[in-house]
Structure 1
Amino acid sequence: MAKDIRTEQKRKSTYILAVLCALVFLGGIGGMLWNLTRSHERQVEILQDGKILYTVDLDRAEDRTFTVTYEGRTNEIEIRNHQIRVKAADCPDQICVHMDWLESAPIVCLPNHLSIQYADGESASGLDAVAN
């Protein structure tokens, strides 16, 4: 009889564990579906000397090119196919141009005090892109 009680308790605990695992699994599936269907806005900030010049939602932005100036020098910024880059610059090293399209690391033009970064701080390293 004691053996029957232990067997019954084992069945109940196995059943409870199975139900809990199923709930966790279903919760994970629900979370993934919610994450896939929600809007993923990609806000980008264009800063100069730490001040925001423009905020652009890349998901809604139309293709265009515009110029940002600093002490007579220019950066030509291009938005195309919901991506952003520095297309051309008057700076001597052209590092900002060679960085190509914005991904996880910010685009920085030190001579022109310009940076382009994700507004929500997304980056591969999780570090802030602006340092004083």
Structure 2
Amino acid sequence: MRSFLSIILFLLVPILQSKPIKKPKQGIYGYVLLKQGNQMPGPGRAPSVPQPVKREIAIYNLTNVNEVKSNGAYFTGIKTVCVAKTSSNAKGYFEVALPAGQYSVFVVEKAGLYANSFNGKGSINAVEVLPDSLVCRDIYLSNKAAF
């Protein structure tokens, strides 16, 4: 019995001493979700459920539509600075630590940087990070969906 407890303790001590995964205390987190196909509701049919996807995400200083070249929802030639990059995992989840400020969030796709959200001032997928706060920003890839 004593040797059994010794083995258990031997196995548990490294686990208990391991450092927990450090979550950012300030920045952006959320999910990247893919919407595709016909999203129009109809009799006996509901829109499909968005699926989580793994993608690279690029965070730029707040970017206005007049600071990019665009082809629909894809952007190139961005004149603002890329301040961070991260990736969503297989469940679509991402998080990135950022200083307080205003940012534009893009998803890296083959055709360019994707974003489909704008505010009334022409800012692309704008997110404001406040001191000591995490902002949730889910990103919906809807370029292959019909509404």
Question: Which TM-score applies when normalising by structure 2?
Answer: 0.32
Computing the radius of gyration from Cα coordinates, the structure with the larger value is 1
Greater share of residues in strand: 2
Richer in helix (by share):
1
Query: Could you tell me the TM-score, scaled by structure 1's length?
Result: 0.34
Higher relative contact order, chain-length normalized (CA < 8 Å, sep 6+): 2
